[in-house]
Homo-oligomer: A and B are copies of this chain.
Amino acid sequence: MNTFGNNYRLTTFGESHGTAIGGIIDGCPAGIEADTAFIQSELNRRRPGQSALTTSRNEPDTVEFLSGLYEGRTTGTPIAFLVRNRDQHSKDYDAMRDLYRPSHADYTYQMKYGIRDPRGGGRSSARTTIAQCVGGAMAKLALQPEGITVRAYTSQVGRIRLDGTYRDYDLTLTETNPVRCPDARKAAEMETLIRRVKEQGDTVGGVITGVITGVPVGLGEPVFGKLHAALGAAMLGINAVKGFDYGDGFDAPLYLGSEHNDTFCNDHGRIATRTNYSGGIQGGISNGEDIYFRVAFKAVATLLREQQTVDRDGRETIINAKGRHDPCVLPRAVPLVEAMAAMTMLDYLLLMKSR
Contacts and interface: CB of A to CB of B under 8 A. Distances in A.
Given A13-B24, A103-B262, A115-B70, A124 B242 contact: no
Interface size class of A (residues with CB under 8 A): 35 or more
Contacts of A270: 314
Contacts of A303: 257-258, 261
A278 interface: yes
A310 to B, nearest CB: 4
A282 B105 contact: yes
A249 interface: yes
A235 to B, nearest CB: 8
Contacts of A352: 112
Interface string A186-225: 0000000000010010111111000000000110111111
Interface in A135-185: 156-159
A294 B26 CA distance: 31
Interface string A294-306: 1011111111010
B218 A14 contact: no
Copies of chain A in the complex: 4
A355 interface: yes
Contacts of A296: 245, 249-250, 252-253
B9 A24 contact: no
A128 interface: yes
B108 A13 contact: no
Contacts of A19: 64-67
Contact of A2 (B24, B266, B269, B294): B24
A202 B236 contact: no
Nearest to A312: B271
A122 B68 CA distance: 9
Interface in A5-54: 7, 9, 11-15, 18-24, 26-27, 29-31
Contact of A266 (B70, B257, B316): B316
B1 A205 contact: no
A233 interface: yes
Interface of A: 1-4, 7, 9, 11-15, 18-24, 26-27, 29-31, 64-68, 70, 73, 75-80, 82, 100, 102-105, 107-109, 111-117, 122-124, 128, 156-159, 197, 200, 202-207, 217-218, 220-226, 228-230, 232-234, 236-237, 239, 242-250, 252-266, 269-271, 273-274, 277-279, 282-287, 294, 296-303, 305, 307-310, 314-316, 350-355
11 contacts: A11-B24, A18-B68, A20-B67, A30-B115, A77-B122, A108-B284, A112-B355, A242-B279, A243-B252, A260-B299, A353-B353
